[in-house]
Structure 1
Amino acid sequence: MPLTDLTLAECLALRPDLDEPADLDAFWDRTLRTARAADGTPRFTPVDTGLTQITTYDVAVPGFAGEPVRGWLHLPAGAEGPLGCVVEFLGYGRGRGLPHEQVLWANAGHAHLVMDTRGQGWSTAGGDTPDTVSLNGDVPGFLTRGVDSPDHHYYRRVYTDAVRFVEAARAHPAVDPDRVVVTGHSQGGGISLAVAGLVPGLAGVMPDTPFLCDIRRGALIAGAPPYTEIAEYLSLHRDRTETVLTTLSYVDAALLAARATAPSLFSIAMMDDICPPSTCFAAYHRYGGAKDLRVYEFNGHEGGGGHHRREQLAWVRELFAAPRTTPVPPPRTTPDSPETPPEKRPVHAA
């Protein structure tokens, strides 16, 4: 599996100049205020999974437009006191699956809230949340759904769902609201970066080989879907390039990541042809908070796999054990400059 993008040295030196909409903050402020004003409260219904050491709840959280978004909440059985919580967003095409399938974080002693992804779940694990907005692009997939306008775009709804899931986690009596981490692989990694930029006061962020970062470049160089959906769409609609790329800039996780303040642990794979490493590094370099990085030089989109789960487990354990010394910052209203603070730790190649 050869390199399909820049070398590691080139990626470490990369500082892309991304096109940011002037009203990006206002757009998301309006979107989230509207969602919070919708009716509905989160529901948590106990589920018998047959597991004796994990207590699981079937979750429904009011997301975009108040529409119920499904998920699972896993808690260590018999745990006392508010727990640190890992909120997980899923990869492209994945749904929440069956309730016993994802219990790693609860087995580690943490609360674990898994969000279903609206309209997805047609590969590897079933989903239970329909996307009620029937805006389809001219190619299969989700990147071109509603691509004529930021207000209509599919990921506006998904990011809003994700923010509402974090808010539901913070409000749950079993969760310590000051110890909430967001994570995800691929699409889930991009969602976690977007949430980090939209929700102040998170304890941490763990994006793995994140999708939805520097989307314009991804559409130009990725050799495999989902970014190829954009190229395929624009090959049919040659006169819509700027409209499409402008719409996608409102959901570009590399732009939203610049607003984040929580500490982060990134993973990036140098032979990834699905989320090219240069696009992931665009988000890493622009990330607004403290950041740590694991690079997997000879892996594709699978990244570090179980080796990286081990890194994450140790990172979260240390994070949740540390006393909180800084207050939750207020919401940001202006973006950072393109230059991010120096990395707090050295890059680790694996």
Structure 2
Amino acid sequence: MSTTAPGLHHDLPFDPAYGHTLDTLLAIAPPPDEPSDFDDFWTACYRRALAVDIAPALGPASRVGGHLVQSIHYTSTDGVRLGGWLTSPADGPIVRGTVYLHGYGGRAAPEPELLPPGTAAIWPCARGLGTASRLPGVPDNGAGHVLHGIDSAETYIHGGCVADVWCAATTLLRAHPAVAQQLAFVGDSFGGGIGAMAVAFDDRFHAVALGVPSFGHHPLRLTLPCTGSGDAVRRHHHQHPEVIRVLRYFDAATAATRVRQRAHVAAARFDPHVPPPGQFAVYNALAGPKTLHVLTAGHFDHPDAVMERSALNAARRDFLQE
């Protein structure tokens, strides 16, 4: 067993801080070799998503505490039918909207209490994940999902997941048009990385909150052992080095250089699942006004974890209602 910081004991065969200090993490730049057609690729993806007939179908509303909760299904690109939840205040006006995407653990229920009062939100399950969007032939675990279609930028599932966010935003805006004046995205881990790519090319969003975002700086991530989906990609790259050509299109740090909306990022200094250098690469690359919320650890239980999560939730609520 090794000790890396007070209260952070682990028996992993690598250092989940990767030898970094906060200063060195804040010095990590985005990948230097983005594809020359990066913007063209994502702009075309965005146009296809906006052209989709989302055909939303809402279930009956039930009151849960101070919120109305409904199941929702909508269509995304490739004709994929997705599920999730729509929540809104049971009483009082709706003054803002949020698209909230889950991590690789999926989502079994919405959590509207995480958001400020007056928020209408959609809680989509990205294609292949969660309890509502599983698909035949698509693994519903991180290690399998992250490799699905990875041999081509046109087929890689992360492109579809980004489109799922765009179509979720369209669905929320159709249900509650007034939130167009104050629409935000929130996502953690998998959801944070996918969200950075989505918000970079969708100016319908006015704010973005990312927690321990994944998929930042693939060239660096491919050199770092971890316990998350990045390890599956690293092993695949070892056998198929040419896959870097695809991954360059799906780099959250490269996308972050296009994010000019105000942003709040929670990044961890110690994380065995999503290496901190990738998380900070996303934060560092953001092009607009940004706030950094430093976590002791991500994807790792420690004595202050509950307190830190509570503080992060409070900081996010404040950020979202600015």
Q: TM-score range by the shorter chain?
A: 0.7 to 0.9
Letter in 2 for 1:154: I
SS, match of residue 158 in structure 1: helix
Shift of 1:202: 1.7
Q: Contact (CA 8 Å) 1:201, 1:261: kept in 2 or not?
A: no
Residue deviations 1:45-96, cap 9 Å, x none?
3233x5252111211122122322111111111223x42012100001313x
In structure 2, distance between residues paired with 1:20 and 1:146: 20
In structure 2, distance between residues paired with 1:295 and 1:279: 14
Corresponding residue for residue 177 of structure 1: 180
Corresponding residue for residue 94 of structure 1: 106
From 102, 114, 117, the counterpart of 1:108: 117
- Any runs of at least 4 consecutive aligned residues in structure 1 with deviations exceeding 6 A, and if so which? none
Q: Contact (CA 8 Å) 1:169, 1:175: kept in 2 or not?
A: no
From 5, 27, 32, the counterpart of 1:18: 32
Corresponding residue for residue 58 of structure 1: 71
From 302, 307, 316, the counterpart of 1:312: 316
In structure 1, distance between residues paired with 2:196 and 2:143: 25
Of stretches 161-170 and 39-48 in structure 1, the one that deviates more from structure 2 is 39-48
Corresponding residue for residue 272 of structure 2: 273
- The 5 A counterparts of 1:104-253 are 104-105=113-114, 108-121=117-130, 127-131=131-135, 134=137, 140-173=143-176, 175-235=178-238, 237=239, 240-241=240-241, 243-253=242-252
Q: Contact (CA 8 Å) 1:71, 1:113: kept in 2 or not?
A: yes
Q: Contact (CA 8 Å) 2:237, 2:244: kept in 1 or not?
A: no
Closer, same or farther: CA 135–247 of 1 in aligned 2, 3 Å: farther
SS, match of residue 182 in structure 2: strand
Corresponding residue for residue 255 of structure 1: 254
Letter in 2 for 1:113: I
Number of aligned residue pairs: give it: 300
Q: Contact (CA 8 Å) 1:218, 1:227: kept in 2 or not?
A: yes
Q: Contact (CA 8 Å) 1:18, 1:214: kept in 2 or not?
A: no
Q: Contact (CA 8 Å) 1:62, 1:68: kept in 2 or not?
A: yes
Unpaired segments of 5 or more residues in structure 2?
5-15
Q: Would you tell me which structure has more helix in proportion to its own residues?
A: 2
Q: Contact (CA 8 Å) 2:143, 2:228: kept in 1 or not?
A: no
Shift of 1:176: 1.7
Q: Contact (CA 8 Å) 1:63, 1:161: kept in 2 or not?
A: yes
Corresponding residue for residue 7 of structure 2: none
Closer, same or farther: CA 16–25 of 1 in aligned 2, 3 Å: closer
Q: Contact (CA 8 Å) 2:56, 2:74: kept in 1 or not?
A: yes
CA RMSD of superposed structures (Å): 2.2
Q: Percent identity?
A: 22
Q: Contact (CA 8 Å) 1:54, 1:107: kept in 2 or not?
A: no
Residue deviations 1:68-126, cap 9 Å, x none?
2111111111223x42012100001313x13xx512146733112111122123xxxxx
Letter in 2 for 1:299: A
Q: Contact (CA 8 Å) 1:91, 1:186: kept in 2 or not?
A: yes
Q: Contact (CA 8 Å) 2:128, 2:138: kept in 1 or not?
A: no
SS, match of residue 181 in structure 2: strand
SS, match of residue 99 in structure 2: strand
In structure 2, distance between residues paired with 1:178 and 1:171: 13
From 92, 96, 100, the counterpart of 1:84: 96
Shift of 1:16: 4.0
Letter in 1 for 2:64: L
Q: Contact (CA 8 Å) 2:262, 2:289: kept in 1 or not?
A: yes
In structure 2, distance between residues paired with 1:278 and 1:286: 12
Shift of 1:158: 0.5
In structure 2, distance between residues paired with 1:283 and 1:107: 25
Closer, same or farther: CA 7–52 of 1 in aligned 2, 3 Å: closer
Shift of 1:259: 1.1
In structure 1, distance between residues paired with 2:281 and 2:86: 32
Letter in 1 for 2:269: M
Q: Contact (CA 8 Å) 1:254, 1:283: kept in 2 or not?
A: yes
Shift of 1:174: 5.8
Q: Contact (CA 8 Å) 1:34, 1:65: kept in 2 or not?
A: no
Residue deviations 1:115-170, cap 9 Å, x none?
1122123xxxxx111335x477xx94222211111001010111111111112222
Closer, same or farther: CA 37–85 of 1 in aligned 2, 3 Å: closer
Shift of 1:251: 1.3
Closer, same or farther: CA 114–40 of 1 in aligned 2, 3 Å: closer
In structure 2, distance between residues paired with 1:135 and 1:103: 28
From 17, 20, 33, the counterpart of 1:4: 17
**TM-score of the aligned structures, taking structure 1 as reference length:** 0.79
